[in-house]
A and B are shown apart, each in its own frame.
Chain A
Amino acid sequence: MRAFLSLLRAIWGEAVGLFIDDGRFAAFILAWLVFAVLALPRLLPHSPAAPLLLFAGLALILVDSAVRRARRG
């Protein structure tokens, strides 16, 4: 039973690790997505700028996070 629970814990840990290995990075992505989904359709309805902003924010988060990690060495 203990071995089974340990196996389940390991699988759960791996499943969470699929999506999050840097909490700050994941939090920024989710925060931007919440803003984009709730605000962009209201601020820029039917505008092609809205999806471009969605992409630009995510690209910026990716570059910022990678550069921060590289600077830490």
Chain B
Amino acid sequence: MTVEYVDAGEAIDQGMLSGKTGTAPAVVSGVTYERILEASARPENWITYYGAYNGQRYSPLDQINTENVKRIGPAWMFQAGTSGMIAGASTYAFEAAPIVVDGVMYLSGWDGWLWALDARTGQEFWRYKHAVPYDVSLCCGNVNRGVAVAKGKVFMVTGNAHLLALDATNGKKVWDRTYGDVRAGESATVAPLVVKNMVIVGSSGGEFGVRGHLDAFDVDSGEHVWRCYTVPKPGEPGSETWPSDGEAWARGGANCWVTGTFDPDTNLLYVGTGNPAPDFDGAVREGDNLFTDSIIAVDVDAGQIRWHYQCTPHDVWDYDSIGECILFESAGRKLLGHFDKNGYFFVVDRTNGQLVQITPFVDRIDWGAITRDGQVTPRRYPDKEGDPVHFWPGPAGAKEWTHAAYSPKTELFYVPVQDVGATATRRRREFKESIPYWGAGVQVDAEDMTGSISAFDASGEERWRWRNEVPMCASVLATGGDLVFAGEPTGEFNALDARTGELLWQFQCGSGHHSNPTTYMVEGRQYIAVPVGWGGWTEGFLPGMLGAGHGSALIVFALPE
């Protein structure tokens, strides 16, 4: 006898079985380019990746200050967790900067997750989950650095190199564009940046021998506006810095995997580019290898490079220059500050790329030396097959992608410093698309390391240093309350006096920090939002803590009500 099946019905969205409400207030409908330009004037919001186009990671909010910071505590938490089998399951971590618009927070996680939360209570409004292939190429973990918002939409990239535009009120997809080739080893981790009516993104994949690029899409329609390759083809400007024969340029790297900054006066987008490929085998790509390891200034309308400053010509240490390009003014000059993986703090004139000053910001640098006028002399590098070479800083750099901050109030830069070395042994390999293309075996030191939050003025003078036993691997936040917030790999979240470096307050968050804290205000109360969770490229920046537990919590602090 045949027994009829029980009708199980149609599968539903898993999020329907959560506590989410489903709809967020339509706060993003009023976010325009003009409003993003004035972000600093409305500090109750953290409206773009760095808080404002200038990349300062500074908020004028001062309700929490040096006098009362010792009284702040958790106001609410959001625990994301993870389930099932996901790409890079051992590497997932928060790396995002929470965006807040008029009381609504937009937070991206790993593996295609995006949440809209009530910024006052932590209540989940809606969620989006992109299906990311388990086998996607990820150099450095299943991570995402955040979202952009404008004109009613939230923009996010995915691990398989899509750019999504979602309705900011309900998380439903408005448009979806593929801008990278996963079969070539490309992926995407960057937080998009909205400029004018464009949303701008960069590609990841520098460890797989791809050709880096920036892309701009129309905010409304998703139409592709321009693509800017960061390695020139033969005959294009800069191509003379690559071998004239062969296809080294086609695998040259220079990926822009960290968000740029923008100056509406110069109409230039300032972006740091990534390492050349193969990372450590320079003999197969003789020359300076433009525009790898460079600060590039891109005409935001044309998508063309107007000037560049290369921090590490012919890099064989994996010294991406993807670090933030902080825009500031000094003595009437429009300047740009950049802390590079190679251990040097560069200040350039952002109108033309002319070097203003350069100074080391970490104690141990022996890969080479850069003089005050910018002359680079390599000293220790893996140039003989099978010969191990130790150098400082290691490939994660004296500062990884995590960001420094600049306070226009104190006129100081605050940089998270990683003082850790590594050994690379050159091992030449044939290029094959989608296979890692390093050209060396690499091991980062698990001992003899240290770190700090260091304060520098624009002339490169170190004004104070807060020392830590292990490298500092999370972005710094500076506020008008004369505070500098910085998380430790061992879980402590610290508030330092911005003028002295004195530790004023500390909270153990239960897992290490490797993301971007932000601050905002709702109904007159200032909050500090801290995505917590150890992960990402731990074996690169702090292998001595590779065994530390993961976490996946957003902790939001405030003064007692």
Q: Tell me, yes or no, whether A binds B.
A: no
Interface set of B (CB-CB < 8 Å, partner A): none
